Amino acid sequence: MALLDLCKHRGRRIRGGITLLKIPSSTFTVVLLVILGTNCIYPLLTDALSPPLWWDEVAYHLAVPKIYIQHHAIVYIPFIPYSNWPMEAEMLFALGLLLRSEVLSHLIEWTAFLLVCWGLYLAGKQFFSPQVGVLAAALFSATPMALTLAGTALIESTLTLYVFLATVFYVGWTENRRREEWILSAIFGGLAASTKLNGALIPLILGVLTAACTLKQSKSFKKAVMHLVLFGLISFAIVSPWYFKNWLHTGNPFWPFLIEILGGRDWDLLGNEYLLGFIRKPNLPMTLTNWLRGLWYLTFDYQNFGPPQVRLGAHYLILLPLVIPAIFWEKKSCRRVLHKVALLALIYYTLWFLQTHQSRFLMPTTPVLAVLAAYGVIWLTRIENGKYSSIIRCGLMLLLLSTHWFFNPSARGLISDRWEYLSGRISREDFLASRAPGYAVFSFANEHLPEDAYVLLALYECRGYYLERRYMWANPISQRVLRLEQFATSEELSDELKARGFTHILFRPVRLEHYAYIRHAEEVTQLTYALLRENANLVLSTPALELYEMVYRESSE
């Protein structure tokens, strides 16, 4: 059998004198390339070429650039807190929306996914061997969260690309001290910071490591500090326009942090409690045991850390231990690079653990995990002169194929579901009406509400991208323009809404219990129900969403 034949090999001397196998036409490599290629196609067949459905993309990743386009400017949006954070990826999405293509926004993230796969191959080839590169790319592409998010307008793929490039150029600089790679690492670190608020930790960490390497080599503290400062200045030059924008809009460049010192427009400490509490809601207790078992939890208890589609997958938990012997016993020249990659993987993982345990936020770490796992497998095939290499390769191929999306009924079902739209059998409106809960109400509002209507999205409904009328969130977790807990009666709230010019309310009556953990949740919910009962008329009702018209009564003197 081909999979069990012992592959012939000849030694190949590469960097540092490491002898690796060269089997460019082996069944193993061919299978890896097939897995990689089919994984790159999967996002196109699911989400990338279809209208947006994921909650966050229609709540703000696409909604914010749409508002900017409507106003022909980058305007202050007081009710979407995420608009006050760096939004480099969303500006790329704006290009697609300007061209009247929401699909282009999906394709931007899909392209970032492809570039990470290509970069993994090149990095593996540069530092280790082509086989390590191909296997690392295949492992990353098989990661459920990467495979799923690559077809959406969520920004994890873009962020992962920038973090990966900043990391690769940093490692390259430590090996050859080429100034260009050091500068590129700082630039891509700045782009990571421009994509997500906590992305600023990447240039900070790499800058500190750069200074440490300089100090170790030159024994000059002054030179190390200069490297740190220059690295930081390059990264800051990239991200600084976003900090300036945030300062201009909110009075605080680091909003919502440091509000006790710098303040924050339309925000307060309760807002921080709500927003950061929601982000950290899935978190485990911050203990060493949970840190050590993090990947185990994300593999077997993934439903507690996000949707099943964005789980980590079992590949890393199974394969990462294989690299541990290589880290200690591999030849020095190769071990040096492994130590750097392993250190960065530990740092990135720890940063994730100290922030939020939502699984998709770990995605920028997965490329370095894939490199380590891939090297562990290839190293294992070489010990004992490759005696067990065919068995190891066969086992890995069985693992990758058994978890491949093609053999997953739900994945094939998702493709069949999307094919109705992709094949032209149904329109965009029909697609969204049948797959986005409550979309019929958005569609009705777009068709029947007057052009000057002003709609309040309550309580936790945020999908403003679907709405073609002016709107504002009433989400108590994510906005502090309307501080709902401060209204004693529905009449007081009604007067405030009248003063602000609201004409309608879109109310989502489902899953309210999901947010019952926040302070004032019960009072705010009852206040909203009283408002709808006493100061609004029901226009349209569906199980997922309701549309009301505000009725303002004349106040008695």
Q: How many Å from the N-terminal Cα to the C-terminal Cα in the chain?
A: 93
Q: What is the DSSP letter of 313?
A: -
Sheet bearing 546-550, strands edge to edge: 470-473, 454-458, 504-507, 546-550, 536-541
Domain end among 279, 310, 327: 279
446-477 residue pLDDT tens: 999 999 999 999 999 999 999 999 999 999 99
| Total of domains in the chain | 2
For 15-39, letters b (16+ CB in 10 Å) and e give ebebebbebeebbbbebbeebbeeb
Cis peptide before 367 (omega within 30 of 0): no
Q: Using alpha carbons only, how large is the chain's radius of gyration in Å?
A: 26
Residues of the chain with pLDDT under 50: 1-25, 556-557
281 vs 356: CA distance, rounded Å: 8
Look up tokens 């807190």; give the residue: 81
Among 377, 395, 386, smallest CA distance to 3 is for 395
Q: Cβ distance 117 to 133 under 8 Å? A: no
Whether residue 217 is contained in a domain is answered as: yes
- Element of type H or E holding 13: strand 11-13
3-class DSSP assignment, residue 257: coil
The parent domain of residue 174 ranges over 155-279
Q: Which two tokens stand for residue 97?
A: 């929306």
Q: CA 435, CA 438: separation in Å to the nearest integer?
A: 9
64 lies in a domain?
Answer: no
Residue 305 lies in a domain: no
Domain membership of residue 99 (yes or no) is no
Q: Which of 222, 255, 279 is the last residue of a domain?
A: 279
Q: Provide the token pair at 450.
A: 């007057």
Q: Write the CB contacts of 175 (distance below 8 Å, at least 6 apart in sequence).
A: 127, 336, 337
Amino acid at 238: I
- Residue 286 falls within a domain, yes or no? no
pLDDT score, position 14: 33
What's the distance, CA 480 to chain centroid?
25
Residue 518 placed within a domain = yes
- Is 233 within a domain? yes
End position of a domain, from candidates 257, 279, 301: 279
With 0-12 / 13-18 / 19 or more C-beta atoms within 10 angstroms meaning exposed / middle / buried, residue 360 is: buried
- Can you give the pLDDT at residue 6? 28
For 167, half-sphere exposure in the C-beta direction (CA atoms, 13 angstrom radius) is 33
Domain assignment of residue 129, yes or no: no
